[in-house]
Amino acid sequence: MKPEERERRAVGARRGGRCRPLFIAWGAVSGRSEEIAAEVGAEVLKCFPPGPDARPPAPVRYALSTLMTCRALALRRPRAVIVTNPPIIPVLLAALYAEVTRARLVLDDHPGAFGAMGYRPGRWTEFLHRRVAKRAELCLVTERTWVERVEAWGGRALIFHESPGKVVPQAYRPPQTVPKILYVSTFARDEPSVAVMAAAKLVPELQLMVTGDPARRPPGDLPANVELLGFLAEPDYLEALAAADAVLALTTEPTSAMRAAFEAIWAQKVLVVSDWPLTRQLFPDAVHAGNDPAAIAAGLRRAIREHGSIGATSTSARERQLSQWQSQLGALRSVVEGPGLS
């Protein structure tokens, strides 16, 4: 018997046959699920996360992911399930399992789950989301708008953001001769990538390093100061983050709390972020910019011009985020590890 199997059965025996929590993520970038799982002692089921390799068509992925999820729930018998939403299918599978086994259910609700970010399936399936959220122990959301929505449905919500993960804080250093800006992108529908490419032409003195699958980038010629890094594996991404003089994290969705922005804070980097009330609240020491080319270019120039004064706040900004993260994590642990499971 493999060591991990012995451990699984030992944990199950200690829990009356119920094993440790399971975090289910269909197609999500796996960093968040792995980090949260590690903090609450959960296993992770990743079904076709995005990456550089070709993935099966969506219907095939969903069919295979359904089988993988059902198998994992049947074999592992988790005492609690955390599930990323969207898509809604794993949410329904997890809800059915929780209903039958009395396991605890937590939804990791991204804004798209509520139909934000142009995600139409979130609007079409709201009636299902509402029913599951009402029965779940907790819904993890990005900001107060979604807390109020979940509570109006009769559920319970917790604002929950990103962990430090493996990001290492960097000692301050002045910008390089040609400053490097890391634009963290997946070329998603809520990212103003066209505006960023136009902004790059306005700041030829800067070098923009852009993540994300190049096949999804906006059409047209690249500005001379833009380098496409592709979809980076975690070690390569952390290396690019460490090498950057500033991080650019933009969204057209006012309720989005971008993972890249938190990573910039954990790394103690100068951050340029979209100007929304939520981002001003979360990142008060960042440079806040509109999502049009002129505003993005002005924000990048300010980030380099005021690099020293903004960088001087990086330690306190990280400590503030760490305090908030620990508070959020404590609330989640109290639900996942709570009594009453049999």
CA angle, residues 220, 214, 60, in degrees to nearest 5 = 125
3-class secondary structure, 274: strand
pLDDT digits (tens, 9 = 90+) for 157-190: 999 999 999 999 999 999 999 999 999 999 999 9
Which pLDDT value is given to residue 56?
Answer: 82
Q: How far apart are CA 178 and CA 204, in angstroms?
A: 10
| Positions of E strands within the chain | 22-26, 43-47, 80-85, 104-109, 138-141, 157-159, 180-183, 207-211, 226-230, 246-249, 270-274, 287-289
The pairing of strands 270-274 and 246-249 is parallel
Sign of CA dihedral 73, 126, 252, 190: positive
Helix (H) or strand (E) holding 298: helix 293-305
- At residue 56, what are phi and psi to the nearest 5 degrees? -60, 160
pLDDT digits (tens, 9 = 90+) for 74-113: 999 999 999 999 999 999 999 999 999 999 999 999 999 9
What domains sit in the chain, N to C, each tagged with a CATH number? 3-160 (3.40.50.2000), 180-321 (3.40.50.2000)
Give the mean pLDDT of 115-138.
94
Which pLDDT value is given to residue 195?
Answer: 97
Which pLDDT value is given to residue 342?
Answer: 37
Q: Where are the alpha helices (DSSP H) in 15-154?
A: 30-40, 58-76, 88-101, 120-124, 126-135, 144-152
| Token pair of 225 as six digits | 């100061």
- At residue 113, what are phi and psi to the nearest 5 degrees? -65, -25
Instruction: Give the confidence band of 58 by pLDDT, cuts at 50, 70, 90.
Output: confident
Nearest to 315 by CA among 289, 285, 287, 273: 285
Give the mean pLDDT of 26-42.
88
Please check the confidence at residue 13 and state whether its pLDDT lies above 50: no
